Amino acid sequence: MLTITKEFHFSASHVLDRLPSWHPCARMHGHNYVVVLELSAPRAALTEAGFVRDYRELDAFKKWMDDTLDHRHLNEAMGGGVSPSAENLAVWIFDLWSARLPELTAVRISETPKTWATYRPAARGGEDAP
């Protein structure tokens, strides 16, 4: 199996409103997010050029991210009812993009330089228990 990754950046605010009121993340705050898309394919499935997928084909994701998430309030951008945690953001992005990028195996999200959340569903090489 061959794996490629590409890193993207955006800035946004959110409120984690399911936390106790004393928790600092229960107040509106923002992050400079890092999103890493991971795509994988078996050696036999590489393109004629030898790619899992041409990195330039990920330009559509960058445009979507800039238009949908950058300098937005994630509580609104992700739709109501979903807490915009890094974990839920990774799942949301994966679910939105896995049909367009069938090689997508994981989405990683960082809110700070020392924290990461990764979503890798079972059907694509990870675990995804209810």
The single residue of 25, 31, 57, 103 carrying the catalytic annotation is 25
Annotated active-site residue 25? The verdict is yes
pLDDT tens digit sequence for 21-57: 999 999 999 999 999 999 999 999 999 999 999 999 9
| SS3 state at 56 | helix
The single residue of 29, 71, 76, 87 carrying the catalytic annotation is 71
Question: Which tops the pLDDT comparison, 79 or 109?
Answer: 109
pLDDT tier at 127, thresholds 50, 70, 90 = low
pLDDT tier at 130, thresholds 50, 70, 90 = very low
Q: Which long-range contacts (CB under 8 A, 24 or more apart) does 40-44 make?
A: 40/1, 40/2, 40/3, 40/4, 40/103, 40/105, 40/124, 40/125, 41/1, 41/2, 41/103, 42/1, 42/2, 43/1, 43/2
Annotated active-site residue 7? The verdict is no
Spatial CA neighbour of 33 closest among 117, 120, 101: 117
Spatial CA neighbour of 18 closest among 96, 75, 76: 75
Annotated active-site residue 127? The verdict is no
Percent of the chain whose pLDDT exceeds 90: 88
